[in-house]
Structure 1
Amino acid sequence: MASANISYYVHTGAEIPWGNSESSQDTPTAAQTILSAFTVAILVDLFIMIGSYFATPYLFQATESFLEIWVSLLFSPLRRYLRRRKTPLDPETYQQIEIEDYDENHNDSDSVSQLETPQDPPEQKKKRSLLKRVIVIACGLIIVLLSFVRPHNTDYSYLSESLPLAPFSNLEYSPAHERPGSAAPETAPQTPPPPPPPPPPPQYPPQSPPQSVPTNVAGGAPSIPISAPANFSWLENRTALDSFPMFDWLPAYNSSDGLPDWSPFRVNRHNQDDYVYEHYNPLKDPLHFPNLQNDILEPLREVLHNGSVKIKHVILIKLESTRQDVWPFRNTSYIMKHINDSYPKGIPGDVMDRLSKLTPTAERLTGHETGFSGDRPKPYGGFSARNAYTSGTYTLKSLTATICGVNPMAVEANLEYLHDIYQPCLPHIFEALNHQPKITSEATTNQTDEWSSWPWFTMWMQTHSDAWDKHFLLSPALGYQQVMAKRTIDAEGRKYIPKETEEEDEHGHEDKLLKNYLRDVIEDAKKNNTRLFLSHLTHQTHTPYYLPGDYKEMLGDRSNEQRDRLNRYLNAVHYEDESIDQILQLLEDTGIADETLLVMTGDHGLSLPNDGGITAWHSPHVGNFHVPLFFSHPKMPQIDLGDAAILSTQILPTILDLLIETKSIDAQGAKILGDLLPMYEGQSMIRTLIPEKDGKHEWQFSTMNPGGTWFTVRSASKSYRLIVPLKADGKWRFTDVGADPFELNPLEDHQLMFLSDAVQKNHGPEAVKWLAEAAHVAHWWVKENHRRWKFDPKNPNNDPPKDDA
């Protein structure tokens, strides 16, 4: 276990969470992450065994001396006491030895008379050095004393527990707020044992909430031991759950044609006789800042309203493990430090030329300058964000957040598909449009805008496996009509897959092969008069950054593992740039480029150049959260949103807003989208954003891979970040990415009060005030997050009640 701990830390920059090791039994592929360091573990284990071979005699002697001294100290008084109480032997009880039994030839020196008093053993064999005794006894007493005087919390217990017992500790959900001096979030309200089946629900949804609906949520946040002039009463006893929304376009109550979130209506039981219909209501959300009342950004307003921009199709691409500073790759990227260090005599010209042309497609789509010399590509058109964060550094949670416009569950692993996704996802919305009476694929006129009433076809597309953590079950839960993954490609005959080696097949079919399948989907849509919503997840940039063929030189001295991985990663980034360029070319070749909205963002980043981490697993570094995010359309001007704080949950409302404003939807569809748009938490990116209002911040939350150990908080108006622990052994972490963009000097502590002292010393009272508010807001948010997802820690898989019969 020691070799596993050391090797995994060296390999990934993270520590194995032994307390969560039981979760891998349900998903065998989860073990791949641990086994990725198997070779390193063997080497570390070999070094440990060699070292132990030579150290064992000395450790044995030291342990023996330690035990002998303490046994002698503790039991010598008892031994002397027992000797004093023992009755002396009577010499008269011994009989004289008969003379004939005496052997004259016997050596008297070899025998001792039975009546002689035994001689004590040599004194030097029992004596111990007085100094040694003092040292051993003092060390032992110090250890015992410290075990009593140390603070009684789980932090020190975790650090002092024996490694072989680690997998059996901390198995249950253990919020950090239970520790003294902490203010981390609590779990959702405890759910009582399932009651007997209640009577059937009413045939029609209520127009108002039942009387049993609580106006306030029981229980408030515990007090935070930070002195700050702030009032948090506006958060206490608040919830965004409210009565169900009613729209005239919703299907009948018992119909299966409606949105999964609303038909049939989800039920929360407060007692076995009453039904409560609850749904997220942004008007009740104390953290929600709507911006739909604001004007559209000036450079976009005219082209959106004059008919120049038409959106018949939407393609959403999630870029796997893509850092913001590599898409496009800039000369200010932190990776450039490693590149410069790898060439002591300067970067060769051919390598610099290769780096300057690493991501021309990304440079074209975002319009961002890279800082390298040379001709810049013509901007594609659209708007991009420089300060965008993912809603979750776990890929599957990031997908749910982007596609559904919701914050993912603050619990470990992909459980969202088992619960009620509390807002309609984009495929759900497009499917709801398909059920409107005027939606048809029949082309009756030659009007150029007749496609606004065509039905939508939604499809999830990837060329690698979707077996990880039951991804294949998540895609249908998000509403996609069809799913394409490696398993479906192989089952359907591998139509466009060339002959692959065993290693290539193991890593999944390469991303560039997607264009052939994408062409078939586009041609079918043109033939069948359907509109497309397609989503694609890349994978070549995922560890181990595998590519078919050879890798080009991006770094010089690659003798250490981190530089070798960076070289592979940059090659993978260049490959993905070429893959995206092929998709753009396909849109041109099929004639749909001018009517397709292209949305791209990273599922999460990668802290490889910062701390050596090869995944975002349990990594709080900002490099894992900061991702590229942009909307592209050839008829839009190129707009840079600058340093405005963006979260990936804002993608869905922005897409809906664009469809409405460009009149790319018929009248009934525009009404539906207009009703839905205000229901979402995120602000629309095509309007003036609101980072702060009435002295309150616009807060943004991101779960950290795998979801149930930490989450992050930031506000749109400040550059501070706070990492909030959900486990008792987790640390709080504070950084200011404005002053320290690479987080070279983070402040960490197991106790929030001690972290506050460090923040006061290093960043001043303003940062302390922000920290206090962020901790309160985080505490409220995670409880609210569990309420919205109807998550019960005692029933994480949302299993139905067992029938007692």
Structure 2
Amino acid sequence: MSGAIPFSFFQALGSKPAQLHRSGDQAFPLASLIDEPYWEGPYDHFKGWAPGKADSSKSNRPAWASGSLPPGFERWAEKKIDGASNGNVTGAQNRTSHRNFYSSVDDPLRITNLDHELLEPIARALRDHRVPITHVVLVLMESARKDIFPFKAGSHLHDEILSSYTTPDHEVLRNLTAKLSKLTPNAEKLTGEASGFPLSNDSSSISGGGWNDLTELEMGGINVHGVLTGSSLSFKSAVINYCGAGPLPVNFMDEVKAQIYQPCIMQIFEWFNQLKGDSTQNTEHTRFRTELEHMHERNWSSVFMQSITGLYDDQNILNTKMGFKQSIYRENIGQRNAKYYHKDMEEINYFGYPEYEIRPYLQDVVNAAIQKNERLFLSHFTSTTHHPWGTPSDYPKEQYFADDGLMAKHEDMNSYLNAVRYVDTWLGDMMKVFDEAGIANETLTVFVGDQYVAPIYNILLPKLTPSSGQAFSEDTPVSGTYENGHISNFRIPLVFHHPLLPKLQITANATSMSIIPTILDLLVNSGSLNELDSNVALDLMNEYEGQSLLRPYQATHNGRQAWNFGIINPGGTMLSVGSAAVPYRLILPLTEDFEYVFSDLDTDPDELNPLRGWSLEQLIGRVQRNHGDKAGKWLSEAEKVGKWWIGEQKRLWNYQ
């Protein structure tokens, strides 16, 4: 697929822009915050925190970390893991003992919240009744902006739509409101957020995809506000979502060539399988076990599915590297001998088919897990909301913007909104599959926004097609995700849906690095793992950089801030730097071709008026004049920490 469009041509040009920052070992720039008086000793599953002290991660190898460990667990391996890449992108034959590994003890940025109690509504629900999590589903939603999940009255996009109507009469506005109220009904159900349109305030009454959500009132799970993606390049984002590892800040997917420095969730589930051994095969032994014990002893299977190609940018290789045991792509379902192939299958874009083509395969995977008495980790990637935002030819299109001769200005956004409505309906139908299989009340479904690769040939050959991505002309003068750090490319939805969890709205200026710690926290505290697996999960939760969203999010600790970083497509030209402690945001240029950009998301949430400067000193002066000395000081620190993080990520990925 990469060769089918001029994407590979861009790479073949071989141009390497002048780098402002280089990788390599470097001291943490805010040294006074990691001095010995701030060090913390180990207790329970917490390994301690002492940056600069000799790394004790190997000497403190957990008791369970022995034998043949799966990929992702290399830092505890006694010797090189058979078949595992040495993790050096250049292919140099380094010994495993000479490689760099992540250490939570030595990470100067790490702030944990695992020492805090669970949020009270969650704790109460887990205490008062069983919340079984037999299966976990992770849905990556292409170009799903937070402001369209659900689409809300009074949002920036809503205002843009309204402003396209110069003198609308009452009937026009009523019809428009009716259409907008039906845009994302299933997102309303999943998030517990009403869109605010008069016809949809009672979202439970709206059908979408045939899904009649039977979740009780005030139940349904956790909806997180304030989350940013860690990358506007899709597969770098996938590494964050599945593996809790920060991306590699270089152009394109060199992660495919390297060893991922954290265990991916699929590899953790595979390790749970190895720890069980053959005990599940002994039916006589398991006959008299309780229902909970039966769930504990069932093996996990991991399946990925999407209706588009799996060959783009080596996604199939990355999926195997991350630990998926089975993957279903366009290449599988589009074959004439495929189980559900039909001759009228319609390709809606240059990537493949609409989501509904995988529905029967989804049903088969779910039914197979039930029949085999397995626990299922299922992941699905939606793609219709990627450029060119095509929907099936028989799908009814709506016009949301005024048709006043200026429609071409809003054509892309209008197509995108139709694709959003299509995917929302599909999500409802997907949830219906779980209902029909009888597993809805034992399934944790995580929905997270994702970004796809903006076609770079738009930059090289702009007449071929409009640019794609999340940001549109209604948001910013620069459309797409490519070399575009605008906030609309980074705000994403994140929902942890379970019918037996309380409906909870929380705010955390976090990134999707928190997904794995939160899943593990839920599995442990819901009693969904046996004692040994729980101990492994508790150890691993303390190894990830992200915080658990089941607990109060810690924006600061002992003067340190919870920093967050976002790679900007294609990865090596600029970096988004933010902090949970303040509303400020820095776009840090990694080459000499881009400006420094500062915004205050409290006063300018849609980044309509950011401050810019070709040098940091120039920008600091402007920030101090407009936002005060505190903001200027933060900007100076953000630039230093961002530069340090770039080198640190290259070190962790053993990138040379």
TM-score scaled by length of structure 1 = 0.69
Change (3 A) 1:312 1:271: closer
Q: Write the mapping of 1:154-193 to structure 2, written as runs, cut at 5 A.
A: 171-172=15-16, 174-176=18-20, 185-187=21-23, 189=24
CA distance in 2, matches of 1:535, 1:502: 23
Aligned to 2:502: 637
CA distance in 2, matches of 1:175, 1:238: 28
CA distance in 2, matches of 1:285, 1:294: 20
Aligned to 2:267: 428
CA distance in 1, matches of 2:109, 2:261: 17
Aligned to 2:374: 530
Per-residue CA distance 1:436-484 (angstroms, 9 max, x = gap): 1355265623622111110000011101112221111111011100111
Give aligned-pair identity as a percent: 32
Aligned to 1:376: 202
8 A contact 2:243–2:262 mirrored in 1? yes
CA distance in 2, matches of 1:249, 1:537: 33
Aligned to 1:225: none
CA distance in 2, matches of 1:721, 1:594: 40
Deviation of 1:278 (Å): 4.4
Bigger helix fraction: 1
The alignment partner of 1:635 has SS state of strand
CA distance in 1, matches of 2:437, 2:479: 38
Deviation of 1:344 (Å): 1.7
Q: Which amino acid aligns with 1:727?
A: T
CA distance in 1, matches of 2:485, 2:35: 26
Matched, 1:365 2:190: yes
Aligned to 1:451: 295
CA distance in 1, matches of 2:96, 2:476: 53
Deviation of 1:501 (Å): 6.5
Deviation of 1:513 (Å): 2.6
Matched, 1:695 2:533: no
8 A contact 2:623–2:631 mirrored in 1? yes
The alignment partner of 2:387 has SS state of coil
Stretches of structure 2 that go unaligned for 5 or more consecutive residues are: 37-50, 205-216, 452-468
Matched, 1:602 2:445: no
Q: CA RMSD in A?
A: 2.9
Moved more, 603-612 or 493-502: 493-502
Q: Which amino acid aligns with 1:628?
A: P
Q: Which amino acid aligns with 1:541?
A: T
Deviation of 1:618 (Å): 1.0
The counterpart of 1:349, out of the listed 167, 174, 199, is: 174
The alignment partner of 1:679 has SS state of coil
Q: Which amino acid aligns with 1:742?
A: D
The counterpart of 2:62, out of the listed 247, 250, 256, is: 247
CA distance in 1, matches of 2:509, 2:2: 35
CA distance in 1, matches of 2:8, 2:198: 40
CA distance in 2, matches of 1:233, 1:505: 50
Q: Write the mapping of 1:121-132 to structure 2, written as runs, cut at 5 A.
A: none
Larger-Rg structure: 1
CA distance in 1, matches of 2:477, 2:351: 22
Deviation of 1:369 (Å): 2.6
The alignment partner of 2:225 has SS state of strand
Aligned to 1:440: 280
8 A contact 2:70–2:267 mirrored in 1? no
The alignment partner of 2:334 has SS state of helix
Q: Write the mapping of 1:512-523 to structure 2, written as runs, cut at 5 A.
A: 512-523=356-367
Matched, 1:744 2:608: yes
Per-residue CA distance 1:169-212 (angstroms, 9 max, x = gap): x9336322xxxxxxxx422x3xxxxxxxxxxxxxxxxxxxxxxx
Q: Which amino acid aligns with 2:290?
A: Q
Q: Which amino acid aligns with 1:516?
A: P
8 A contact 2:28–2:108 mirrored in 1? no
The counterpart of 2:3, out of the listed 7, 28, 38, is: 28
Aligned to 1:772: 636
Matched, 1:616 2:455: no
Deviation of 1:243 (Å): 4.3
CA distance in 1, matches of 2:350, 2:617: 49
Matched, 1:462 2:311: no
Matched, 1:789 2:650: no
Deviation of 1:540 (Å): 0.5
Matched, 1:489 2:336: no
Change (3 A) 1:33 1:319: farther
Change (3 A) 1:451 1:271: closer
Per-residue CA distance 1:386-438 (angstroms, 9 max, x = gap): 10100111000111101000111111111112111001000000001110135
Q: Which amino acid aligns with 2:415?
A: R
Change (3 A) 1:235 1:427: farther
Aligned to 1:301: 123
Change (3 A) 1:257 1:724: closer
8 A contact 1:417–1:473 mirrored in 2? yes
Deviation of 1:505 (Å): 7.2
Aligned to 2:490: 625
Matched, 1:555 2:555: no
Aligned to 2:252: 413
Deviation of 1:239 (Å): 9.5
Deviation of 1:351 (Å): 2.3
Change (3 A) 1:745 1:268: closer
Deviation of 1:759 (Å): 0.8
Q: Which amino acid aligns with 2:529?
A: I
The count of residues paired between Structure 1 and Structure 2 equals 589
Stretches of structure 1 that go unaligned for 5 or more consecutive residues are: 1-25, 36-166, 177-184, 190-216, 223-229, 793-805
Aligned to 1:46: none
Per-residue CA distance 1:579-608 (angstroms, 9 max, x = gap): 000011111110000000000010137111
